[in-house]
Structures are given as C-alpha cells and as structure tokens.
Amino acid sequence: MKASLKEKLEKVLLRFEELNVLMSAEGATGDMTNFTQWTKEHSEIAPLVEDYLAYNEVTKNIFDARELIKDPDVKELAELELLGAEERKAELEISLQARLLPKDENDGRNVFLEIRAGTGGDESALFAADLLRMYAKFAELRKWKLEIISQNQSDLGGYKEIVCKISGQDVYAWLKFESGGHRVQRVPETETQGRVHTSACTVAVLPEADELHGVEINPADIRIDTFRASGAGGQHVNKTDSAIRITHIPSGLVVECQDDRSQHKNKAQALSVLSAKLNDMQIQEQQKKEAETRKTLIGSGDRSQRIRTYNFPQGRLTDHRINLTLYKLTQVLEGEIDEIIGSLRAEHQAEMLALAES
C-alpha cells in the first residue's frame, strides 16, 4: 500500500475514534444539530474503517504465515494460509482505494426522469412507453416512488415525451448512467412485411436540486403560462386551467406540469424541474471540460451519445459504452437492470481509480 493512502486511512481511523468519544460523551445529545452530524459522518466512514482494520489484520496474518513457512511441520498449511491472506489483502486494498474516491454530491438525490421519442414516429413513442415501464418496474423493486409530472401521449398509446419524478434512497447514484440515446430494433405491430425497424428515444436523468444548492431562478427570466391539461388524468381534465408551462427565456428551456389539479402545486413542481434542468446544464458543461483533458467512457454527459441497443428479434441488449451484451431482454424490460447498472458503476469506479493513480 502506498504511504499516501495509508496516511489518509490513519487520519480517517483517528476521526472515527474521535467521533466515538464525542457521541458517547455525557450530554452529547444536548446539541442535536452536532449529534446528527456526528452520527451521519460516523455511519459514512464506518465501512471504510472496517475494511482498514481488516486490512491491518490480514497484513499481520501474512507476516505470521511467512514465519510459519520456515517450520517444515506446518509449511504446507502455512503456504495455503498465505495464499488466501494475500488474495484477501489485494481485495481489501482495491476496496479501500474505491472508498476513498471523491463522492458525487448528487448520488443521494431524487431525480427527474425525462424520456423523449426520437426517430421512428409512433414506434419510437411506443418504445418510450416500454422504457418508462422498465424504469417504473426497477423503481418498484427498489421501493422507490415514481410520480408523473407531465406527459404527451401518442395516438397509439406511447409517449412523445414524458417526465416523472423518482424518489428514494440513492436514486441518482443508480440511474445517472442511463442518460443518453436508447435504440430499439424490432418488427412494429403495424409492419405487414415483417421487417425489423430501428427507432430511438433519448433519456435524461436530472438530479433534483435542493433549496440551498439549487440554481437561483430570476423571476424576470421566466414566463409562466397556464393551460388546460390534456390526455389521461380523470374527470377534471380540460375543465380548469391548472396545467403550468414555464419558459426560461435566457436558456430557452420549457417545462410543463399538468399532473395535479392544483395550479399552485403544478407551478412548484415545474419550477423544481426547471431548476434541475438548469443545474444539469452546469453539470454537463463541467463534464465536457473534464472530457477535454481525459477520455471518459462513462458519464460523459453527452445526451446525443447512443448508449444502448435493445434488439427484440435476438432477445439481446447491448450497452455500447462498456461492450456489455446480455441475452435477457425480457427480464431487462421487466425492470431487472441491476446487472447492467452494476457493471456501469464498476467501470466508472475503475476509471476513477486509474485517474487517481495516474
């Protein structure tokens, strides 16, 4: 282990021990603000400390095993113990390096998921509905909450555009690599010759901005229009001007919210989406600057990038960023995308480790 890495870990261990003292001190809960911060920090660094203590223990075991190898009576057993301990040490070192990587401050945030139909007309809109269902199933499996913000349905039951909010634990951390172009290859129901058509949708995953760190929106920079909601939504649809459309004049961004009967709630939700979009523009700009100095495979921020292909005739899914191919398209569309996302997160972590070592 590098001396610089060990030095960082020793500092974390000292801080962990200091937090134990602070939290167990008499009257520690007298200041709940401090106590809450201590417990949060303690829980965040506890896994790192656990790995570091295990690393120190396995390092000691390696030393002991090397000493025992000198004894002919236990040499064979000691060699087996040494092999296992060295493998465990290598695993722990990688884990420790990964845990020390800078955290994405947005990882714990809720997200706004935006799906837009692209090339392919009605077939693209139907694919947008398939993608929404896939993410809704994934959210359900992870006990997240999904709510529709706005939708523009197509004639055949798909979506020209749909925006929803997904709330829960670490939503952005799991979905942030889903942004980009999603392509589908299949025979449309309206195709009489049995030919495979190619269509595409664009997915954007925007972390919800909080009140403290969100982009400030100047009221003079926006235009707010009201209109009657359209599409599915119950008997109140088309009876009241409760839907809200906000135009951000400097950027040209337009957001709508028509899901709630309350104009006030729709306005608040639309402003939240607008703030997330403006914040996302800043994130993409930063990512582009970083990409100028290094080639990034994951999280490039380029929404025009084709990231994945869903091939129905072959039951195949391919993620082009990491050359991952799975022949389990049915399960994927039922929300079983943990394997894909896990592979993307692992690849991103490997990139970050390579950069940290360079």
> Residue 358 — very low, low, confident or very high, per pLDDT cuts 50/70/90?
low
Per-residue pLDDT tens over the stretch 321-357 = 999 999 999 999 999 999 999 999 888 888 877 776 6
80-99 core/surface letters (b: 16 or more CB in 10 A; e: else): ebbeebeebbeebbebbbbb
Per-residue pLDDT tens over the stretch 59-69 = 999 999 999 99
Among the candidates 69, 99, 129, a domain finishes at: 99
* Residue with more model confidence, 286 or 310: 310
Residue 169 located in a structural domain: yes
Q: Are residues 340 and 204 in the same domain?
A: yes
Q: Are residues 229 and 255 in the same domain?
A: yes
Question: What average pLDDT score do residues 259-267 get?
Answer: 77
- For the chain, the domain total comes to 3
Q: Are residues 194 and 311 in the same domain?
A: yes
Among the candidates 99, 126, 157, a domain finishes at: 99
List the domain range (segments joined by +) for residue 263.
209-293
How wide is the angle at C-alpha 188 spanned by C-alphas 338 and 333, nearest 5°? 10
Q: Are residues 201 and 126 in the same domain?
A: yes
Q: Are residues 289 and 315 in the same domain?
A: no
Does 105 score more than 70 pLDDT? yes
**What is the CATH classification number for the domain harbouring 268?**
3.30.160.20
Report d(CA 118, CA 182) in Å as an integer.
9
pTM of the full predicted structure? 0.68
**What is the CATH classification number for the domain harbouring 14?**
1.20.58
Q: Are residues 70 and 201 in the same domain?
A: no
Q: Are residues 192 and 56 in the same domain?
A: no
Residue 299 located in a structural domain: no
Among the candidates 99, 116, 147, a domain finishes at: 99
pLDDT of residue 128: 95
* Residue with more model confidence, 293 or 182: 182
> Residue 104 — very low, low, confident or very high, per pLDDT cuts 50/70/90?
confident
**What is the CATH classification number for the domain harbouring 339?**
3.30.70.1660
Q: Are residues 23 and 92 in the same domain?
A: yes
Q: Are residues 13 and 83 in the same domain?
A: yes
Q: Are residues 153 and 280 in the same domain?
A: no
Residue 300 located in a structural domain: no
Parallel, antiparallel or unpaired: strands 243-248 and 145-153 = unpaired
Q: Are residues 355 and 220 in the same domain?
A: no
